[in-house]
Amino acid sequence: DGDCISADYSSSDSAFMQGVRPRSAAEGPWFSSAMPEYTETTQLHPDSINTITTCITTTPYQSRSFTWQMPQNIVQGSVSISTSPSMGSPMVIAAVRSLNYKGNASVFRASTTQLTAGTTYYYQITSGSTTSPVYSFTTATEDASFTFLHTSDTQSTKAAGYVTCSHALRQIVDEYKPQFVIHTGDQVETNYFEDEWRWYINDEKSVLTRLPYFPTVGNHEETTVYPARAFREHFSVPDNSCTAAAVTPGTVYSFNWGKVHFVVLNTQCKSGFSAEAEWLRNDLSNYKNGNVIICMHRGEYDLNGIVTDVTTAFTDIFAEYGVSLVLYGHDHCYLRSIQNDNCKTVHLQTGSSGTKQAATSVTRPSYVDVMATPQLPTISVITVTSTEIKVRTVTVDEKEGIVPLDNNAHLSKSDDTKTVDFSIPIK
């Protein structure tokens, strides 16, 4: 299930290379012990606010949360929020500080549920003697249509890879004006390499400081040895999360936005999915409107067949509660499942939003309606109106800009009537 890292053997870090070198069977498997920590080439700066991400705590109409990191010796932080760009008469929220699992960084979290729907707010983060620039965000309105983005698999071992995915995301945000972003896992290549987290989050600062970001754990964020610790230190998620002991804290949660109930699952839980499935059934039983979107990293369908553990745990629940759409990642190509009388739920793998792309030679499986291997960052733009959930998938080319996925030559369909863009009726 991907308990691995990519090693290109170009590193000058001798301790790391000793850990990833080829071994004989007599030495035991690589996963039998923790990998050596890779030497960081980046650092947290005391004169700037580092790795800022935002989310919601309860509803998108009244709440907002903020997460950031600073050097270990900085122990205080706060967020000032105002309706004025000059930051007049701000509401000041004290942050809660903790140390990261390595013990070498301060993690700050602050949140509020005292906001007003449909209002533009301005905010500044202060930690120690450092204050951020003024950022802004706008709270949602309950009855309005909304647009969000589905991104996935942005991982890279190089700083340049994160520049590519952030460039693509910024173009899509500027063009389609979404209200939030959902990422279905593998934000980074190796969950304990802080360089990668800093490259990823800091490169996307213009988006992540403004739009709520809902993260999903992928197989490169949680492994047998590393239980999504760095993932949890960079993001805050909505309060409605699974607290079962068998589920990694802060990785399974749900929230409502307009007419849709969103659920984020963790397909990397090493103790199995029984506790998570029980939580999911209880969560969906409390939601009566019928428009449900599930987000997960490993979906039921991939390039190599039906994913047995995921299907066994969740398929019956999806059917029982009439889940409209499942968004997932993992294979680095576009896959959309065949929808029929036996399976009315649409399963959509948007593809990689970064540089790690599936080969164009892969074959479309029989259970896939539409498949594409565009070799370009791919993002789905999803708009919810009073009548439909409309999904449009595009790629971003360095030279041509935003290009509809339908224009890509590496497209395979079950028949010529199929298109990449599709819609699902609102219930």
Q: Does residue 65 contact residue 110 with C-beta atoms inside 8 Å?
A: yes
CA 126 to chain centre: 26
> What confidence score (pLDDT) does residue 32 get?
52
Instruction: Give the pLDDT confidence of 103-120 residue by residue, as tens digits.
Output: 999 999 999 999 999 999
Chain Cα centroid distance, residue 147: 16
DSSP state letters, 369-414: EEEE--SS-EEEEEEE-SSEEEEEEEEEETTTEEEEGGG-SSEEES
C-alpha angle 260-262-267 in degrees, rounded to nearest 5? 155
Please indicate, yes or no, whether the overall pTM of this predicted structure exceeds 0.85: yes
Q: For residue 225, what pLDDT is reported? A: 75
In this prediction, residue 33 carries a pLDDT of: 56
Residue range 374-425, pLDDT digits in tens: 999 999 999 999 999 999 999 999 889 999 999 988 999 999 899 999 999 9
At residue 2, the pLDDT reads 45
Q: What are the tokens at 190? A: 């190796």
**Can you give the length of the chain in residues?**
427
Neighbours of 117 (CB within 10 A): 15
Q: What is the DSSP string of 349-363?
A: E---SSS----TTPP
DSSP state of 401: E
* pLDDT of res. 172: 98
In 128-208, at which residue ranges do the beta strands (DSSP E only) sit?
130-131, 135-138, 146-151, 180-183
| pLDDT tens string 129-169 | 999 999 999 999 998 899 999 999 999 999 999 999 999 99
